[in-house]
Amino acid sequence: MAAKLLSTSLLTLLLISLFYSISAATNEDTTTKTMEEFSGYPTDSHHSILSFSLNSFSVESEKLQSQARVIDELSTLSDSPAPAVTRILYSEKDNLARRFIKGIMEQVGLSVREDAVGNIYGRWDGSEKGLPAVATGSHIDAIPFSGKYDGVVGVLGALEAINVLRRSGFQPKRPLEVIMFTSEEPTRFGISCLGSRLLAGSEALVNTLKLAADAQNISFFDAAKSAGYNLSPDDLSKMVLAEGSYAAFVELHIEQGPLLEEEGLSIGIVTAIAAPASIKVEFEGNGGHAGAVLMPNRNDAGLAAAELALAVERHVLESGSIDTVGTVGILELHPGAINSIPSKSHIEIDIRDIDENRRNGVIEKVHKTAINISQNRQVKLSEFKIINQDPPALSDKSVIDSMKFSTEQLNLSHKFMISRAYHDSLFMARISPMGMIFIPCYKGYSHKPEEYASIEDISNGVKVLALTLAKLSLE
């Protein structure tokens, strides 16, 4: 009881100093800019439809300006011209960005370490020795031509949350740890959330990585070595963390959907992350000359793929739930000539749901249909491979309660919501109580250069994260 009273009064103190540090730094200099200008997105006439006539917001403080500058600075470590960001695993720019993050972690006063694949950890020791840490973090890799906020807000925002706590004189009981995860995006080796997946433990993943190569046929291990990570398959197996290694994990992220902005809300408290599955399918037929082979004599692998793509949509809609979604994002035909009947087709299917059984039911239907198509069209179904079939993750009640408490204390509007995109949190949930904090992003845009979150919204997210971390670290 005494301990509880103590933590409540510590939190109150923290709140007072939080408000103080924010209001004390307020300056009157109100800057009016269009969102596109601020985000660095070109405001030429072609994009004028995106421009607001007047979107004024005040630049709250030097702190906020410097946060915006740091986000901008990180976005320049990119293989595509601004405002687009391209940062691929173990590339030169990825390496520079890693150094940038380690530098900030050191400036913030965290002790920095890195694991075999380059997950970077910055730790602030707690007052009580031996307790598992409360962790937060996200990723900074970016798919080709994406934006500068996805993931970045959860890494730089986490470091700013630590700054906020330090400035307010807070002392955590449990250690606080900021994690920058390696390769959340699947761009280079086709595996998403590589760093957090390894922490959550997967022998199958280690075996996949032994054979993994990128589009240039560079193996995962060679790519890692060229970036300074000289690791062996054994090192990967050793990365696995035991359940309970962290007391909690919280990730701050842009929503990547339009709901918060549409509803005018500041914070999304994520209660569950949808379960993704991806499938590779290949059909093979005899091909032939587009003029010489008559229609009754064909077994067209391209049409088989087209039929399956439409069946994916049908089976997803049959689920009857708005939460079931399916996408055929890749459809390739071989040999890919206008006058040649496709002899091979390759399609990749992404199916997600917050209900694992319902999603798996759709996958089963798609599989049956693929078999039927191959029989009806006399093509060979040479591959139907489920690449991954991750279960959904539920946020932990104690973390949800802490996020809700913090949001209410800060007088910010909020709603409970589901994350339809998946994140490192999906895997951290396997070893730790998990929660996610969403902030609005412009029109829900993500994975493209127009992606934008206002510094005001980022700042709200940082404050909620700071208070949530503080609360969890005292529990």
Binding residues vs Zn ion (CB under 5 A): 150-151
CA nearest 332: which of 312, 302, 310? 302
- Please identify, using beta-carbon distances, which residue of 60 and 150 lies nearer to Zn ion: 150
Q: Residue 446 Cβ, how far from Zn ion at the closest point, in Å? A: 8
- Please identify, using beta-carbon distances, which residue of 135 and 366 lies nearer to Zn ion: 135
**Can you tell me which residue has the tokens 């700054």?**
163
Give 289's DSSP letter: B
Q: Report the C-alpha gap between 149 and 252 in whole angstroms.
A: 11
- Cβ-in-10-Å burial (0-12, 13-18, 19+) of 468 comes to buried
**Can you tell me which residue has the tokens 């922490």?**
199
Q: Residue 432 Cβ, how far from Zn ion at the closest point, in Å? A: 18
- Please identify, using beta-carbon distances, which residue of 150 and 300 lies nearer to Zn ion: 150
- Please identify, using beta-carbon distances, which residue of 94 and 150 lies nearer to Zn ion: 150
- Please identify, using beta-carbon distances, which residue of 282 and 457 lies nearer to Zn ion: 457
Sequence-distant (6+) residues with CB within 8 A of 141 are 87, 88, 89, 94, 151, 182, 183, 184, 185, 187
Q: Residue 152 Cβ, how far from Zn ion at the closest point, in Å? A: 9
Q: Residue 151 Cβ, how far from Zn ion at the closest point, in Å? A: 4
Q: Report the C-alpha gap between 364 and 370 in whole angstroms.
A: 10
Burial profile 39-55: b = 16 or more Cβ within 10 angstroms, e = fewer: bbbeeeeeeeebbeeee
For residue 119 the two structure tokens come to 């997950």
Q: Residue 142 Cβ, how far from Zn ion at the closest point, in Å? A: 9
Q: Report the C-alpha gap between 362 and 99 in whole angstroms.
A: 43
Give 395's DSSP letter: P
Q: Residue 270 Cβ, how far from Zn ion at the closest point, in Å? A: 13
H or E segment and range at residue 364: helix 356-376
- Please identify, using beta-carbon distances, which residue of 151 and 433 lies nearer to Zn ion: 151
Q: Residue 150 Cβ, how far from Zn ion at the closest point, in Å? A: 4
Q: Residue 29 Cβ, how far from Zn ion at the closest point, in Å? A: 32
Which residue number is nearest to Zn ion in terms of Cβ?
151
- Please identify, using beta-carbon distances, which residue of 150 and 284 lies nearer to Zn ion: 150
Q: Residue 153 Cβ, how far from Zn ion at the closest point, in Å? A: 9
- Please identify, using beta-carbon distances, which residue of 183 and 432 lies nearer to Zn ion: 183
- Please identify, using beta-carbon distances, which residue of 11 and 142 lies nearer to Zn ion: 142
- Please identify, using beta-carbon distances, which residue of 316 and 426 lies nearer to Zn ion: 426
Give 327's DSSP letter: E
Q: What is the dihedral of CA 282, 283, 289, 293, to 10 degrees?
A: -170
Q: Report the C-alpha gap between 192 and 397 in whole angstroms.
A: 26
- Which sign, positive or negative, has the C-alpha torsion 121, 138, 79, 332? positive
CA nearest 378: which of 305, 280, 300, 281? 300
Q: Residue 65 Cβ, how far from Zn ion at the closest point, in Å? A: 24
Phi/psi at 447 (5° precision) = 60, 30
User: Any bridge partners for residue 340, and if so which?
Assistant: 289
Q: Tell me whether the omega of the peptide bond preceding residue 83 falls within 30 degrees of 0, making it cis.
A: yes
